[in-house]
Amino acid sequence: MKAMFLIHNTTAQAQTLASALVSVHRVDGEWYADSQRDLAHTLFLKLLDVDIDFINHPPLSADQVGQYLRGHNERRELIELLIAFEMLCRPIPNQLCMDIDLWSKQLSIETDLLQLSRELANNAIAQATSDFYRLNWIGEGDHQDDPAFQELVRKYGDHSYGLCVEEDPVQFKKWDDLKNCPPHSLGRNLWEFYKSRGFKLPGELGAGNSALAHHDWVHLIADYDTTPTGELEVTAFMASSSQSSGATLGFIGAISILETGLLQSFYGADKFGNALSSGNGIERVAQAIERGKSSNIDPLLGIDYFQYASEPLSDIRKTWWE
């Protein structure tokens, strides 16, 4: 079951989705954040092929929307959409958080994203940050039931979810050996991806660990850069192409980190801002969602990229979008 918004919802439901969005996020004709209207227009135009006037579009109540959205997946995706737009706010208004809670109850939806929303609205930033990394796709990639990993979390805290808090020579050799893959191969290109950017390899102290590094394969194959907007693109792509329950949370949390800086990052990414609303960020993220929906591969689940390390990168890309 895919977990990203606008996967199960259809063009025929676009007007209803838009009415829900303006009902929650547009108050007395004003949006909570300036970027929300532009994002709404672009997402609906690119993903649902509907050009909606979000200045004048009429609202609907949660009960009315529930009459049109009968399926659980459709309703869940709507709540995820509402929370994604909430992440464009800093601070998050308490009334907005309460309204989304109310809609969730009326539509019978519960999700980890609601917990993140409440914590951010209540300025419980440390707890929100901990939950974000524990529950998103990075945390899913960690061996959280392993006593050895639990000991790392006990000693080093939340950084353990995504960083190498201790040296791991075995992991380092595994990743460094990618330099021996054939030219133009997936593995050789990833090794060059790290070296050209001055990134440490997994296994080195302070580097991203193997759970975090999993998304670097996606950066390379989908050809997204490592700028703040590029990070939003890759998380948006993963959210719309993966059945991972943590993929959507990862994308929506990344909006908060890279757009408003409200949610914290232990990679230093919290120093960035406006990654979505500046330049062509909105268009790039919408296109990444669209590309994810058209991909043949789940980039997070059931795939060991090392098995394909010696294959030409060009062939891998063809496989993803044949």
Q: Residue 268: pLDDT above 80?
A: no
Q: Match 């939806």 to its residue by tokens.
A: 109
DSSP H or E stretch at residue 302: none
Beta bridge partners of 159: none
Strand partners, 27: 30
- Whether the CB-CB separation of 68 and 16 falls below 8 Å is answered with yes
Give phi and psi for 57, each to the nearest 5. -60, 135
Convert the pLDDT of each residue in 207-247 to its tens digit: 999 999 999 999 999 999 999 999 999 999 999 999 998 99
Residue 219 sits in the same domain as residue 283: yes
Q: Angle CA(39)–CA(53)–CA(259) in degrees, nearest 5?
A: 15
Same domain, 201 and 312: yes
Report if residue 306 sits inside a domain.
yes
Which phi-psi region, left, alpha or beta, contains residue 111 (left: φ > 0; alpha: ψ -120 to 50)?
A: beta
Establish if 78 belongs to a structural domain.
yes
Beta-carbon contacts of residue 272 (< 8 Å; ≥ 6 apart): 228, 257, 258, 261
pLDDT value at 6 more than 80: no
Is residue 151 domain-shared with residue 265, that is, in the same domain? Answer: yes
pTM of the entire predicted model: 0.94
Co-location of 284 and 315 in the same domain: yes
Q: What is the DSSP string of 150-164?
A: HHHHHHHGGGGGTB-
Specify the pLDDT at position 30.
96
pLDDT at 214: 96
Band (9; pLDDT cuts 50, 70, 90): confident
Res 277 pLDDT > 50: yes
Q: What is the pLDDT of residue 1?
A: 43
Q: CA-to-CA distance for 184 and 148, rounded, in angstroms?
A: 37
Boundary residue ending a domain (123, 157, 182): 123
Within a domain: 259: yes
Name the residue range of residue 315's domain. 143-320
Answer with the one of 91, 123, 155 that is the final residue of a domain: 123
